[in-house]
Amino acid sequence: MNNSAAFGPVPTPEPSAAPGPAQRVLSTLGPAGQTASVTDLSAATGTHPNTVRRALSDLHTAGLVQRSRVPTGGRGRPHYTYSLTTAGRHAQPTGRAFREYRSLTEAFATHLAQRSDDAGADARAIGRTWGASLAEEQNSSARPAAEDRVTDLLAELGFGPVPDDEGTALRTCPLLELAKEMPEVICQVHQGLVEGALESYGAPAGDVQLTPFAEVGACRLRLHAEPSRAEPILRYR
């Protein structure tokens, strides 16, 4: 059953999952590794400046680009330059590999939802195994704190994590449509993924709290939720 009508404002789909102006802007910023203005990006992509501005606005909201104001010394519209965030540098690629990943995930999620006696628990166990495996493959010569490594991993997977005082806002979702249709499976996979990665990094995972669609445009992740104040791990609107 499609439960999309029950949800409030949700995270955006991972922008690079579909070709278009946003993907072209990401691709142009990526290889350069530097800042660029709307004029620069318009010329490089052959796209109208207004289209570039809309794409940059979407990417900025998704946490994939950051902007810096350029002093002009005069009046008029402020000028900005743009660069990729950590999440933007790890944004999901397009193409067959990503489509196959989505298809495989949909297949196993549908199977669990229809056949498993406890689809949520099974999905979470799969996520923990997946998270541990990804953590072992992650390159990190500096060995930063486990929480920072989880943030980097989530950025690489296309979740657009934005840490703040309340934990981490996950502003994009690589499997948004599936998460809205089968949250008891997909969101539990993501919960387990974080737990498995944390354990692989040598950090406790018992207090991880994932609240899907918790706020406008984001899910909410807390790696050290207080047991006395913690909300249910999965809460739907």
Determine how β-strand 218-222 pairs with β-strand 167-170: antiparallel
Residue 69 contacts residue 80 (beta carbons within 8 Å): yes
Tell me what pLDDT residue 70 has.
83
| pTM of this structure | 0.63
Q: Could you tell me if 113 and 153 lie in one domain?
A: yes
**HSE-CB of 26 using CA atoms within 13 angstroms:** 29
Average pLDDT over residues 4-20: 58
**Domain carrying residue 79:** 19-89
Is the pLDDT at 32 greater than 50? The verdict is yes
- 103 found inside a domain: yes
Task: Report pLDDT digits (tens) over 40-62.
Answer: 999 988 889 999 999 899 888 87
Task: Report pLDDT digits (tens) over 178-229.
Answer: 888 888 899 999 999 999 999 999 888 888 999 998 888 889 999 875 543 4
Q: How many domains does the chain have?
A: 2
Is the pLDDT at 230 greater than 70? The verdict is no
Tell me what pLDDT residue 104 has.
79
Give the CATH number, domain containing residue 29: 1.10.10.10
Residue 219 contacts residue 170 (beta carbons within 8 Å): yes
